[in-house]
Amino acid sequence: MAIPQELFGEKLILPSILSADFSRLGEQVSEVIAAGARLLHIDVMDGHFVPNLTIGAPVVKWLAPVVHESGAYLDVHLMIDNPDFFLDDFAQAGADALSVHIETCPHIHRTLAEIKERGLSAGLVLNPGTALGAIEEAALFADYVLVMSVNPGFGGQQFIGESLSKLRRVRAMLPPDVALQVDGGMAADTIPSALAAGAGWLVAGSAIYGAEDPAGEFRRLQAMVAPGL
């Protein structure tokens, strides 16, 4: 299923399971959902496009019932070469949204359309060093755009300050109903500036799962972006 349209207009913290304790993954995911998380962010890395290996469709398939039964949704970020080959795998595993990098999709309009044809929300991602011109037209075919504010591959990196200018420029080019997501270095000290630059969905991994009380830290960060939620 796709992410409900009403969530695209909300300010949300998306816990990233990349930084979770995988020996207690179900428990840690359930804790942040119980604390109010609506979207869970999953980073899929192949060791080719980015210098790290993480998880694949089997983990998404295992998590999907845990997440969906609680009324939350799975946002799957494909940091992989040839993502078109794997759209069916992740759709069948239970992803609600798939985001793909402009850097790995020579036929990006087709890739975004194929994600939507599978009943999922389609996201477009650009790396810190990628010029905005690369996505200017393609972004209009996406449900959301993800601006990486670190070089992808690892959690716990420092926020790249120049990303704020990119966020402002991307927000200005997007229709109001297209969500702007930011991923990388999101914590209590960087969230306010990212919000001010136009981000609405903020991915936080180590800030949440590196805290002594991940659920409590999620609530604190969510209160920063949307005090009423």
Catalytic site positions: 43, 183
CB contact set of 85 (below 8 Å; sequence gap of 6+): none
Other Cβ atoms less than 10 A from the Cβ of 189: the count is 10
Helix (H, G, I), strand (E, B) or coil at 7: helix
In this structure, what token pair is assigned to residue 18? 């990349």
Provide DSSP, 18-48.
GGS-GGGHHHHHHHHHHTT--EEEEEEEBSS
SS3 225: helix
Strand order in the sheet with 12-15: 12-15, 201-204, 179-183, 144-148, 121-126, 97-101, 73-79, 39-45
